[in-house]
C-alpha cells in the first residue's frame, strides 16, 4: 500500500473563477498530506480533481506511475477506476441502506464472495470501533458514529489512497479531538497515502506528515508541520498558521543587523534586504518580564487572557500591539508595565512588497 501521487500544473476554472492555478505537488508514498487553507482556496477542488469527480482545465495527475489525468493528452480515468477511497464532509452515507449495505456496496461491485464481504464488514467495523452496528440505518446514529461508518465504508474496499474532505468539521470539539487520534492511528496502521482537506490549522499541524497551504488556487508552501510553523514561506502562511496569531510588525531596514519598527528597533543578524519589511514573531517566542531587563522594550499590558494551561497577553506601545503567550496563569495585571525581549533566532523577516520570506534563521 504505497503510492506516490504526482500533480503537475493542475488548473481548474469555474466560469471566470480560477479555483486551481497551476498547482504542482508530489505526495510521497505513505504520507499524510493536508491541504490547508481558508474556504475558497481550492483545496477541496484539488481533492476532487484527484478523486476524478472534477475535470481540470489543464495539467496532469499521476497515481503511482499511472497517468490518470492529462489535459494535453486528453486522458481521464473515471473516478471508479482510480482505486481511491473518499470520505465526505457530510459523510454521504446512503440513507436508505443499513450500515452493512453501505459497506458492502463497493464490495458487491468488486464481486467479492459472500464470506469475504462478511469478513470485511466485521473487520472494518472493528477498525473504527463500531462492532454490532450492522443493522442500523444512518439516521439512527449520532454524527460521530456516522463518521466512523463512513470511514469503515472506505476502509472495507481497501483503496490504495485515502482522500478525506474535512471529515471532522461537522463534529463537536470533543469528538473531533478523539477522531483525530483515531484517524492518525488508522493511517499509521494502514500506511495508505492520504490526502486530507481541512481549514483547521490545528488539525493540519497535529495530523500531517506534510502540509500544503493554499490560497486563491495557488499553492503557497508544502512542507512538514514543523517547517510550515516555524518558517512560513510568506506572510499569508505565517498569518494563517498558529493560534494565537503570529505578530507581524511593519518596519524599515536600518542597518546590517537592525530593523526600525518605530518606537524601538529589533536586532536580526545578517539582513540582506533593504527598504520596507515585516518582522514576524510567534507569541510564544517573546520573553516577558515584570521588571526592566537589559535589551527589553517597555510595553504596557492592554489585556490579559488566562485560559488554564496558558495565558495570552496583549501588549501595547504606541501603535504597536503584540500578542504574547506564556505558560500557566499569568500574574500580570491589566495596565501593568511589562518588558518584552525578542530572540533574534526566532524571528522571520518578510519583504513588505512581495510578502515572501527574506531572512530566516534556517
Tell me how far, at minimum, the Cβ of 88 lies from another protein, in Å: 4
Tell me how far, at minimum, the Cβ of 71 lies from another protein, in Å: 7
Closer to another protein by Cβ: residue 95 or 308: 95
Closer to another protein by Cβ: residue 8 or 265: 8
Tell me how far, at minimum, the Cβ of 167 lies from another protein, in Å: 12
CA distance 320 to 300: 11
Q: What CA–CA distances, in Å, run from 148 to 30, 101, 179, 223, 301?
A: 21, 15, 9, 29, 46
Closer to another protein by Cβ: residue 80 or 328: 80
Biggest distance spanned by C-alpha atoms of the chain:
76
Closer to another protein by Cβ: residue 95 or 292: 95
Cell of 19: 479555483
Tell me how far, at minimum, the Cβ of 233 lies from another protein, in Å: 20
Taking phi over 0 as left and psi of -120 to 50 as alpha, with beta for the rest, 355 belongs to left
Tell me how far, at minimum, the Cβ of 217 lies from another protein, in Å: 13
Closer to another protein by Cβ: residue 4 or 90: 90
Q: What CA–CA distances, in Å, run from 267 to 168, 211, 353?
A: 42, 31, 21
Cell of 109: 461491485
Q: Do 112 and 121 touch, CB atoms closer than 8 A? A: no
Helix, strand or coil, per DSSP, at residue 106: helix
Q: What residues between 130 and 159 interact with another protein by CB under 8 A?
A: 153, 157
Tell me how far, at minimum, the Cβ of 11 lies from another protein, in Å: 6
Tell me how far, at minimum, the Cβ of 13 lies from another protein, in Å: 11
Stretch that binds another protein, among 6-14, 280-288, 330-338, 344-352 (CB under 8 A): 6-14
Q: What residues between 34 and 63 interact with another protein by CB under 8 A?
A: 51-53, 55, 58-59
Helix, strand or coil, per DSSP, at residue 122: helix
Closer to another protein by Cβ: residue 4 or 76: 76
Closer to another protein by Cβ: residue 96 or 174: 96
Stretch that binds another protein, among 65-73, 254-262, 276-284, 326-334 (CB under 8 A): 65-73
Give the one residue of 110, 274, 300, 356 binding another protein; rule: CB under 8 A.
110
Stretch that binds another protein, among 14-22, 219-227, 251-259, 352-360 (CB under 8 A): 14-22
Sheet of strand 17-27, all strands in order from the earlier edge strand to the far edge? 17-27, 5-14, 58-63, 66-70, 75-76
In the stretch 69-108, what mask flags binding to another protein with x, by CB under 8 A? -xxxxxxx-xxxx--xxx-xxx-x-xxx--------xx--
Q: Do 128 and 149 touch, CB atoms closer than 8 A? A: yes
Buried b (16+ CB within 10 A) or exposed e, 267-289: ebeebeeeeebbbbbbbebbebe
H/E stretch holding 350: strand 348-351
8 binds another protein (CB under 8 A): yes
Tell me how far, at minimum, the Cβ of 73 lies from another protein, in Å: 5
Closer to another protein by Cβ: residue 103 or 241: 103
- Which of 246, 227, 233, 167 has the alpha carbon at shortest distance from 203? 167
Give the one residue of 11, 170, 206, 267 binding another protein; rule: CB under 8 A.
11
CA distance 71 to 60: 6
CA distance 125 to 302: 52
Residues that bind another protein (CB under 8 A): 8-9, 11, 14-15, 22, 51-53, 55, 58-59, 70-76, 78-81, 84-86, 88-90, 92, 94-96, 105-106, 109-110, 153, 157
Amino acid at each position: 500500500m504505497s503510492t506516490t501521487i504526482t500533480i503537475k500544473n493542475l488548473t481548474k476554472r469555474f466560469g471566470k473563477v480560477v479555483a486551481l492555478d497551476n498547482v504542482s505537488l508530489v505526495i510521497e508514498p505513505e504520507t499524510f498530506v493536508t491541504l490547508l487553507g481558508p474556504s475558497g482556496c481550492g483545496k477541496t477542488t484539488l481533492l476532487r480533481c484527484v478523486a476524478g469527480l472534477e475535470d481540470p482545465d489543464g495539467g496532469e495527475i499521476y497515481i503511482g506511475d499511472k497517468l490518470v489525468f492529462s489535459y494535453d493528452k486528453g486522458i481521464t480515468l473515471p473516478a471508479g477506476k482510480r482505486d481511491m477511497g473518499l470520505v465526505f464532509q457530510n459523510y454521504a452515507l446512503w440513507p436508505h441502506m443499513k450500515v452493512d449495505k453501505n459497506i458492502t456496496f463497493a464490495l458487491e461491485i468488486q464481486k467479492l464472495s459472500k464470506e469475504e464481504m462478511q469478513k470485511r464488514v466485521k473487520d472494518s467495523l472493528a477498525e473504527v470501533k463500531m462492532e454490532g452496528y450492522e443493522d442500523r440505518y444512518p439516521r439512527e446514529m449520532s454524527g460521530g458514529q456516522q463518521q466512523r461508518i463512513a470511514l469503515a465504508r472506505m476502509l472495507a474496499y481497501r483503496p490504495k489512497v485515502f482522500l478525506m474532505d474535512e471529515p471532522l468539521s461537522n463534529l463537536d470539539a470533543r469528538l473531533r479531538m478523539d477522531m483525530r487520534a483515531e484517524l492518525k492511528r488508522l493511517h499509521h496502521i494502514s500506511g495508505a497515502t492520504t490526502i486530507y482537506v481541512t481549514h483547521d490549522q490545528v488539525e493540519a499541524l497535529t495530523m500531517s506528515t506534510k502540509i500544503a497551504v493554499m490560497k486563491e488556487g495557488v499553492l503557497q508552501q508544502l512542507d512538514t508541520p514543523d517547517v510550515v510553523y516555524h518558517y512560513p514561506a510568506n506572510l499569508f502562511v505565517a498569518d494563517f498558521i498558529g493560534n494565537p496569531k503570529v505578530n507581524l510588525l511593519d518596519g524599515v531596514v536600518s542597518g546590517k543587523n537592525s530593523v526600525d519598527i518605530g518606537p524601538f528597533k529589533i536586532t536580526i543578524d545578517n539582513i540582506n534586504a533593504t527598504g520596507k519589511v515585516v518582522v514576524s514573531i510567534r507569541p510564544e517566542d517573546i520573553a516577558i518580564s515584570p521588571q526592566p531587563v537589559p535589551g527589553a522594550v517597555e510595553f504596557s499590558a492592554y489585556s490579559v487572557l488566562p485560559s488554564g494551561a496558558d495565558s495570552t497577553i496583549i501588549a501595547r506601545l504606541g501603535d504597536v500591539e503584540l500578542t504574547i503567550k506564556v505558560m500557566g496563569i499569568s500574574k500580570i495585571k491589566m495596565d501593568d508595565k511589562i518588558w518584552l525581549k525578542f530572540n533574534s533566532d526566532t524571528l522571520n523577516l518578510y519583504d513588505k512588497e512581495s510578502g515572501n520570506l527574506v531572512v530566516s534563521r534556517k
